[in-house]
Structure 1
Amino acid sequence: MGYLSNTYVEETRFGLWFLRSHTWQHHVLRVAINDLRSLFSEPLPGHPVLLDAGCGQGKSFRYLHQTFMPERLIGVDADPHSLKQSREEAVNQGMTVELIGSDCATLTVPDASIDLLFCHQTFHHLVEQEQALAEFYRVLKPGGYLLFAESTEAYIDTWVIRWLFRHPMQVQKSAAQYLEMIRHQGFQFTAQNVSYPYLWWSRAKDFGLLERLGLRQPKPFGQREETLVNVVARKPLEGAV
């Protein structure tokens, strides 16, 4: 397969199937987009230009459209086969989506042209993370928002995830490290703009089975190693300090 990135890590067959599943769409994508929407501390941009970085098979498109009502929706992915499926998904949903074959570290998108950049469960697949984040900052308009939702190293580096999926393990990070990277790039956010979802599918090792059976009490926030982090981070307005 002619991937559009020299550092692309090919997904497993199970992984590609899972990204089409009801669980992925209803319990992962939908929940993350709703949570990100709740993290805005200011009104949403009206009719934004929205870029989905790592759009995969396009299953996010309808949720993004329903939640943010973009004037333009752009999908970027480095896998030509996934882009083909994204195109089919857009047609099935009756939506107009501009699709770009590109590595996130070298986006073919003009400077300051995007209002909202959605990066959901993509960043832990990227080897060139610093370059990708710099590209996200570049293409966002001043005052634009990065909608970042990620699984952390505490989840990715478990035997079941290593067995079922493929990831570049050398770049995995904790929630705190991801937030520090985003802040260091120049994005602004407060604690109000950050969440640490503790969802059943993100429970390391047993997917929360023991807790659902009443055999173990869930660890409260602050006493567990977070497996998910969501943040809505803003690119400063021009001239802002």
Structure 2
Amino acid sequence: MNYLSDSYVEETRFGFWFLRSHTWQHHVLRVAINDLRGLFSEAPPANPVLLDAGCGQGKSFGHLRQTFAPQRLIGIDADPHSLELSAEEAARQGLQVELIGSDCATLNVPDASVDLLFCHQTFHHLVEQEKALVEFYRVLKPGGYLLFAESTEAYIDTWVIRWLFRHPMHVQKSAAQYLGMIREQGFEFGERNVSYPYLWWSRSKDFGLLERFGLLKPKPFGQREETLVNVVARKPLEGEI
């Protein structure tokens, strides 16, 4: 496969299958999009141009349409086969989606042309994360929003995830480190705009099985290493910079 990024880390066969599963669509994607919608301090832009950075097989398209009603939906991915599947998914749902083969570190999108940039479970796959954030900031309009939802190193660096999936381990980060990167790039957000979901599928080591059977007491927020972080971060208006 000729990927559109020199640093692309190929997913496992299991991982590729999982990204089109019911579990992924309804217990991961849908939940994340609903959570991100609730993190806005004000109403999202009406009829936005929405870019899905790392759209994969297009399973996010229907949820994004239902939640944000974009006038224009753009999907970007560095895997040509995933883009083919995204086109099939868009056609199946009767959606008009512009699909672009591109590396997130070199987005083929004009400056200040996007209202909402959705980056869900993509960033931990990227080797050139700093460059990707620069690109996210560039393509967003002033006042536009980055919708960022990620698994952290505490989850990615567990035996079961390392066994089932493939990731560039040297770039994995904590929730605090991801938030720091986003803020250093120039994005603005407050505590109201951040969440740390503690979902069963993201529990490190055992998917929360010990907790579910009452063999382990869940650690409260502040006493555990977070495995997920979601943030809605705003690019300031020009007069606010």
| Structure 2 residue aligned with 1:232 | 232
1:143 is the counterpart of 2:139: no
Describe the superposition over 1:52-81 as per-residue Cα deviations: whole angstroms up to 9, x where unpaired.
Answer: 000000000000000000000000000000
| Structure 1 residue aligned with 2:30 | 30
| Structure 1 residue aligned with 2:215 | 215
The one-letter code sitting in structure 2 at the alignment partner of 1:64 is: L
CA drift of 1:99 comes to 0.1
CA drift of 1:21 comes to 0.5
CA RMSD in angstroms, aligned pairs only:
0.4
Describe the superposition over 1:151-186 as per-residue Cα deviations: whole angstroms up to 9, x where unpaired.
Answer: 000000001000000000000000000000000000
| Structure 2 residue aligned with 1:70 | 70
The one-letter code sitting in structure 1 at the alignment partner of 2:67 is: T
Secondary structure class of the residue paired with 1:239: helix
5 Å-filtered alignment, 1:160-175, equals 160-175=160-175
| Structure 1 residue aligned with 2:39 | 39
| Structure 1 residue aligned with 2:178 | 178
| Structure 2 residue aligned with 1:115 | 115
Q: Which aligned segments of 4 or more residues in structure 1 are displaced greater than 3 angstroms?
A: none
The one-letter code sitting in structure 2 at the alignment partner of 1:220 is: P
CA distance in 2, matches of 1:120, 1:237: 24
CA distance in 2, matches of 1:214, 1:154: 22
CA drift of 1:215 comes to 1.0
Secondary structure class of the residue paired with 2:24: helix
Describe the superposition over 1:108-150 as per-residue Cα deviations: whole angstroms up to 9, x where unpaired.
Answer: 0000000000000000000000000000000000000000000
CA drift of 1:214 comes to 1.0
After TM superposition, the score normalised by the length of structure 1 is 1.00
Query: Would you say how many aligned residue pairs link Structure 1 and Structure 2?
Result: 241
The one-letter code sitting in structure 1 at the alignment partner of 2:111 is: D
| Structure 1 residue aligned with 2:158 | 158
CA distance in 1, matches of 2:52, 2:44: 17
CA distance in 2, matches of 1:51, 1:44: 14
CA drift of 1:217 comes to 1.1
Compare 208-217 and 114-123 and name the one that shifted more: 208-217
Secondary structure class of the residue paired with 2:238: coil
The one-letter code sitting in structure 2 at the alignment partner of 1:104 is: C
After TM superposition, the score normalised by the length of structure 2 is 1.00
CA distance in 2, matches of 1:9, 1:76: 16
The one-letter code sitting in structure 2 at the alignment partner of 1:188 is: E
